[in-house]
Every structure is written in structure tokens, then in C-alpha cells.
């Protein structure tokens, strides 16, 4: 920016300020608009000052410190583990509602890239207690179906162990 364009921009801001002052009616909003316009005028007047001090001056270095923003991986890991534990508890409740008691559930997750993706569900039915109305069903199929429906998994991702 050369000197003549700098002076023209200041003159333009002053003329625009006078025009706004004439057009705006008196009232509460007038003082807010004048305040915003004053800040705009201040930025235009101060804009070439940074070039006097440093040609490599970057406003982003003042307002945004890239080293200050980091991913807290410990927090994300703890959150992902809580989500996994909550899913396991919720699946156990689903089994109880379906008539299956004393089931142990373990969800294997891939927690890389700060995203938890369910890879496998291992269901231990060694202490299984079923309600009487479920005595004539295939328990393996029904147990897998509950997990597949709840977690939106494929049959190969659900393992039932006795």
C-alpha cells in the first residue's frame, strides 16, 4: 500500500463516517453503530503501522498460537473407554430385557485416530440363565441377534463363548 492509497482510504472512511452520522436517526442504536464504525476507522488507520516494524508481521501469530492447541489424548482415551463401558452395560440390559441373565460382555474397540470403532463383541454365556419362555429357541442365534441389532454389527463381529 503506497501513501496516496493510504490517505485516500482514510479520507474515504471519514466521509463514510459523516454520511452515516447524517443518515442515522438519533436513538439507542446510533451510539452502537458509531462505536463499530470507530473501530473500523481505527483498524484502517493502524493497518500500515505493522509494516513499519516488521515485514514478516503476521496477525495470526498474535491471536492464534498453534502450539497452544493440542489434542488431549488422555482425555479422549478416557472418554472412549467410558463409551465402551457404557455400551457394554447397555447391551447387558438389552439381554436382561430379552430374557437372558448372567451374561458377560466385552467389546473390543479400535481407538486409534481418536475415534472408537467397534471391531468385535465377545459374549460369555457360561453362567447363562434364560427365562422359561425362551427354552425352545436357538440361544446362540438370539444372543448374536441382540448384539448385532444394538451395535449395528455383522454376524462375524459377534462371538459367543460358553
How distant is the alpha carbon of residue 62 from its chain centre? Answer: 25
Query: Is it the case that residue 57 has pLDDT exceeding 70?
Result: no
Q: What is the pLDDT of residue 1?
A: 57
Q: Convert the pLDDT of each residue in 72-93 to its tens digit.
A: 778 888 888 898 899 999 999 9
Burial class of 20 by CB neighbour count within 10 A (0 to 12, 13 to 18, 19+)? middle
Q: What is the pLDDT of residue 68?
A: 64
- Average confidence (pLDDT) over 8-20: 84
Going by pLDDT thresholds of 50, 70 and 90, the confidence category of residue 23 is confident
Going by pLDDT thresholds of 50, 70 and 90, the confidence category of residue 104 is very high
Cα–Cα distance, 89 to 81 (Å, whole number) = 12
Going by pLDDT thresholds of 50, 70 and 90, the confidence category of residue 60 is low
- Average confidence (pLDDT) over 53-69: 62
Domains recognised in the chain with CATH numbers: 3-63 (no CATH), 73-161 (3.30.300.30)
Q: What is the pLDDT of residue 58?
A: 62
The model scores a pTM over 0.85: no
Q: What is the pLDDT of residue 56?
A: 64
> Backbone phi, then psi, for 153, in 5-degree steps?
-115, 165
Number of H helices, E strands in the chain: 6, 5
Amino acid at each position: 500500500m503506497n501513501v496516496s492509497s493510504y490517505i485516500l482510504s482514510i479520507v474515504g472512511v471519514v466521509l463514510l463516517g459523516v454520511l452515516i452520522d447524517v443518515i442515522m436517526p438519533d436513538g439507542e442504536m446510533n451510539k452502537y453503530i458509531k462505536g463499530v464504525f470507530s473501530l473500523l476507522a481505527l483498524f484502517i488507520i493502524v493497518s500500515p503501522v505493522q509494516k513499519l516494524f516488521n515485514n514478516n508481521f503476521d496477525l495470526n501469530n498474535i491471536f492464534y498460537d498453534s502450539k497452544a492447541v493440542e489434542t488431549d489424548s488422555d482425555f479422549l482415551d478416557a472418554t472412549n473407554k467410558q463409551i465402551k463401558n457404557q455400551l457394554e452395560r447397555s447391551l447387558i440390559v438389552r439381554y436382561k430385557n430379552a430374557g437372558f441373565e448372567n451374561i458377560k460382555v466385552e467389546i473390543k474397540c479400535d481407538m486409534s485416530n481418536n475415534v472408537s470403532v467397534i471391531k468385535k463383541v465377545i459374549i460369555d454365556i457360561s453362567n447363562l440363565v434364560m427365562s422359561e419362555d425362551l427354552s425352545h429357541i436357538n440361544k446362540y442365534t438370539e444372543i448374536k441377534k441382540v448384539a448385532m441389532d444394538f451395535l449395528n454389527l455383522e454376524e462375524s463381529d459377534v462371538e459367543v463363548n460358553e
